[in-house]
Amino acid sequence: MPKKTTNHSNLKSDLFFNRELSWLQFNLRVLEEAEDHNHPILERLKFIAIFSSNLDEFFMVRVAGIKEQIESELLEISSDGKTPLEQLAGLRAQLLPLVLRQTAILMNDVLPSLEREGVHIHPFAKLNQREKDSLCNTFCEDILPVLTPLALDTGHPFPRLLNRSLNLAFVLRDETRDKSERKTAVLQLPPLLRRFVPLKRTSGNHFVLLEQIIQAHAEILFPGLTVEDSYPFRVTRDADLEIADDEASDLLTEVAEQVRLRRWGTAAVRLEVEEDTPEYLVNLLMNSLELEPNDVYHNNRPLNLPDFMELMKIDRRELKDIPFNSRQLPEFQDSPDEIFEAIRKHDIMVHHPFDSFTNSVVKFLNAAADDPKVLAIKITLYRAGGSSSPVIEALKRAAENGKQITAFVELKARFDEENNIIWAKELEQEGVHVVYGVLGLKTHTKIAMVVRKEKSSVRTYLHLATGNYNLSSSRTYTDIGMFTAREEFGNDAIHLFNSLTGYSHYSKWEEFIVAPGNLRSKVIHLIRREAELHTPEKPGHIMVKMNALVDDDVIRELYRAGQKGVKIQLLVRGICCLRPGLESLSETIEVRSILGRFLEHSRIFYFANGGEPEFYLASADWMPRNFVRRVELMFPIYESRVCATLEHILAVYWADNTKSRQLLPDGSYRRLIPQKGESEFSAQQFFLNEIVAGGRRPLTKMKRIIPPITTK
């Protein structure tokens, strides 16, 4: 009998998952990590907080964008054919049960488990009198002076409350008038005050929530009035910066102003209240914030859960992940001369956090800063971190040492704008030439270039990476970087920086693949070539590890390659709009997502290429914004031992059967479990074990996923 075929129409809903709903599936996987009892209890609490902070960003950017479409009447149909109104309805329908699930995990599992470990969050009402008296003194001396209660009436309009701030609404009764009158006031909890106020007890860790202390002493805030009740609430605002940088004469000032507006003046997109908040008060808040009933979320738990990350500071190692020391690479242990000599000999790859960021990237930049032979350093900075950055310090010292330093600072790196403004000003004060942004684009590529005078010539050394120059995230994100002195790479780097800092339409790249120039067309070419070269003798094979797959054109090309029989394995951490496993369309395509202790962030691309395998690394995911609205970089890998290491990394990730989920044709994910005869295997734990073992496990002991690599 002929094989049954399925007709897949060109309806978008048949071909693509909705981007926003796919993101909710990703955040569900974060929540599942909070449910996983294999994690220490404080780490489970961390995942609950991450779920909420992720959701905050989702509302501030994605939901806000959909609402702006509706208000402007410039409606765009989503990748699966949904209107903005349909998307909002679908998002709420999926989100409500997730919020309930998060509440159940926190209140019925995580907090009781913390109590059993001696970490207690006490209701104020259940404290003994001595503790209440002590907290009364704390309130009067340390809290009351910084509180500003705000009346709500015809003479006092609704205040401009900070984005994501925790607030209290007070219901008051004024008996001093001839007729008893109910009044309402609001109070924003100052961010500078600790949310978790410690209690002194003989053993364990004991806290009271700040809002409960304020609620218990409300009569001090409103003398002469009766406080009938008080209710916490929280506002989320549109936070996507709108900067017409072609009109902004001073981009630094404009970004700073937009960040200020983000905190105070942008439109509200969500109101969170406690479950028992009376309807009249919810309506008052909703109408004052110009929100609809579907923008209101009721919670039976404390609000502002990202604050709970503060509990990670508790010094209880047994309640957290086991600390680890990253691998120290021998090539970076010596003098600057020896470091540069090692890079000249062969390309060096690092896999963070398993390979030390400090002992590789920071050592490289420090060596460049101190080496008298180094003439110049150029670097792109998308996210450099918080209050202290060894990368920034190395650049400042290099400038002090008389080297020509150029730092390309992306001021519009979402939610890192304030940090980047601070770094930019500090670098300029030290004599670093700071460049802000490319007109109409975000610069997302990660590259550092060191120009060194050697004998009779000048040589260029590069660090190219999938992740940011951020020490903090290098310990919690998995990323890959490569050090190289390849001449053709250096030539491309020179032209790339010139295009960032000056006027250039350079397009004759030797090795670099650059967005918004030729990155999308190159990716499509590589996928199309794989389909054309596919034969039974030399089967096509594509394996990709990245964070998001959204671009319609690339997805359609993957479908075509799959229909020709190419084996396609996709490790996509977050959003994936491709529908795998559909008969006659994507039967040869499998999609998995890995979540665990570290946030998977590296981007690796493999193509079998008719028996001559090719590997690429990139700063970009396969998304329209990366192809069109960002400066991105993809580059090939030629060093055979680096290719072998990348193969090893992909093999380990694909073998994961404990932290890996498989995307199903209906858009849901199924967690992989060990099959009969298999042992539990976690890729991230395997890489941690390699550090202890002192090296990477030989490939002969791992099941190969691709043919042996040959040297180019």
Active site (catalytic) residues: 444
What's the Cα-to-Cα distance from 489 to each of 51, 370, 412, 437, 562, rounded to whole Å? 40, 24, 27, 23, 33
Indicate the SS3 state at residue 332.
Answer: helix
DSSP string spanning 527-591? HHHHHHH--SSS--EEEEEES-B--HHHHHHHHHHHHTT-EEEEEESS-B-B--S-TTTSTTEEE
Going from the C-alpha of 48 to that of each of 30, 42, 54, 107, 531, the distances in angstroms are: 8, 10, 10, 11, 43
Give backbone dihedrals phi and psi of 538, rounded to 5 degrees, phi first.
Answer: -130, 80
Give, in order, the Cα–Cα distances in Å from 97 to each of 297, 381, 691. 11, 39, 40
Give the Å distances, CA to CA, from 677 to 38, 376, 583, 655, 674. Answer: 21, 57, 30, 14, 8
Residue 611 region, left (φ>0) first, then alpha (ψ -120 to 50), else beta?
A: left
Q: How far apart are CA 26 and CA 31, in angstroms?
A: 9
Alpha-carbon distances of 312 from 14, 17, 114, 202, rounded to whole Å? 44, 36, 12, 21
CA distance 573 to 308: 25
Burial 531-545 (b: 16+ CB within 10 A, else e): bebbeeeebbbbbbb
Please, are residues 539 and 611 in contact by the beta-carbon 8 Å criterion?
A: no
Look at residues 305, 351, 318 and name the one whose alpha carbon lies nearest to residue 30. 305
Instruction: Name the H helices within 127-223.
Output: 129-138, 210-216, 218-221
Tell me which H or E stretch contains 119.
strand 119-121
CA distance 672 to 591: 12
CA distance 71 to 254: 25
Angle of the 390-400 helix axis to the 363-370 helix axis, nearest 10: 10
Of 148, 175, 143, the closest CA to residue 159 belongs to 148
The torsion angles phi and psi of 205, rounded to 5 degrees, stand at: -120, 125
